[in-house]
Amino acid sequence: MVQEYAYWMALAHLKNMSTAKKNELVVRCVEQKRSLADFFSLGLNEKNVHFSITSEESLLIEEANKQVSNYSFMAEDLLNQGYGIIPITSPNYPLALKENLKRTLSPTLLYTKGNKKILHEKAIAMIGSKNAKDPAFAFVNEVAKKASQSALVVLSGFTKGIDRESLDAAARHKGKAIIVLPQGITTFAGGMKQYYRQIVDGDFLVLSPFLPNASWSPQFAVARTPIIYGLASEVYVVESRDKGETWSAAVEELKKSRSIYVRSPLELEKNANALLIERGGIPVDQAGNILKKTSCELNLFD
């Protein structure tokens, strides 16, 4: 099993190949009843015939193949330390990601620490500014409390502001949470220590699709956002400017006709929440209750 994980890591972290192409190769392996080890061992002609691999892609795969022994040591070390390794074909892989991100964007491989069962429970995400404070924090606390009472998981990208506040609110109310990292999972030592009790008790799960020893990067921070949206049954925009990551992600999801709940701004608040509501966001009050409800605008708290 360790060796097979090594091949999964070689494919998942192969540079200059899209996630869609990697997942297509996985699908073809499944259809042909081949393991990834079988795939990597094929010659150029066989890869071309059975997998439609170009010469350039074959060279990339050969370079990745040279790293399999290193990945094998890394996989064994991860497993010995209690980390989980979840390929996209595993029954432990969250179905919500596959349904929402499809083959094009679903991470080929996930690394976890904590209770993997949480990945299959309904989850909510609260998205917002890094510089937010009350009344946004009061909203986060109230929604996290309701989520805990409703057995819903809170998703957090572990950025300061709304992300971090939603995680701490979940902890305060004895709820469950998934921390989606913008870095490799083994570089999260400080966070593991901070939420050790919640992780050990099975209430928190830490997740990353990135190489385990990878440091934080802006690129990873951007790539993490679709995963949070992909895992969420409901998304609440707590506070947004009219530009930036929160705004862009929310607008993109609204274009897909997805229901996005937006905290209705209080009088004198300076944010772009009202603009998101005008674009189709569903307004909610400070307790997360829908303000203008139609028959199609029912949320999980009803």
For residue 113, the SS3 value is strand
What is the pLDDT averaged over residues 287-295?
Answer: 75
Most confident of 33-42, 128-137, 173-182, 292-301: 173-182
Note whether residue 73 is domain-resident: yes
What pLDDT, on the 0 to 100 scale, is given for residue 295?
Answer: 40
Q: What CATH number should be reported for the domain holding residue 175?
A: 3.40.50.450
Contact between 253 and 123 (Cβ < 8 Å): no
pLDDT of residue 301: 53
pTM of the model: 0.93
Residue 26 resides in a domain: yes
To the nearest whole percent, how much of the chain has pLDDT over 90? 87
Tens of pLDDT, residue by residue over 78-95, are 999 999 999 999 999 999
Model pLDDT, residue 1: 85
Residues 139 and 217 in one domain: yes
Please check whether residue 90 is in contact with residue 199, taking contact to mean a CB–CB distance below 8 angstroms.
no
Strand intervals (E) in the chain: 84-87, 109-114, 123-128, 153-156, 176-180, 204-208, 234-239, 260-263, 282-284
64 and 124 co-located in one domain: no
Domain around 145 = 116-284
Q: Reading across the β-sheet that carries 204-208, which strands appear in turn?
A: 84-87, 109-114, 204-208, 176-180, 153-156, 123-128, 234-239, 260-263, 282-284
| Percent of all residues in the chain with a pLDDT value above 70, rounded to a whole number | 96
Residue 294 has pLDDT above 70, yes or no: no
- Does residue 62 lie within any of the structural domains? yes
Query: What's the average model confidence in pLDDT over 247-274?
Result: 94
Q: Is residue 292 part of a domain?
A: no
Same domain for 168 and 34: no
In a domain, 241, yes or no: yes
* Residue 75: both structure tokens together: 């996989």
User: Structure tokens of 296?
Assistant: 């199609």
**Residues 202, 59 share a domain:** no
Q: Using alpha carbons only, how large is the chain's radius of gyration in Å?
A: 20
Average pLDDT, the chain: 94
User: Same domain, yes or no, for 57 and 132?
Assistant: no
Same domain for 280 and 156, yes or no, is yes
pLDDT digits (tens, 9 = 90+) for 159-182: 999 999 999 999 999 999 999 999
Q: Is the pLDDT of residue 298 over 80?
A: no
Average pLDDT, stretch 258-262? 96
Looking at residue 55, its pLDDT comes to 85
Under 8 Å between Cβ of 240 and 146: no
The 10s digit of each residue's pLDDT in 211-222 is: 999 999 999 999
Q: How many domains does the chain have?
A: 2
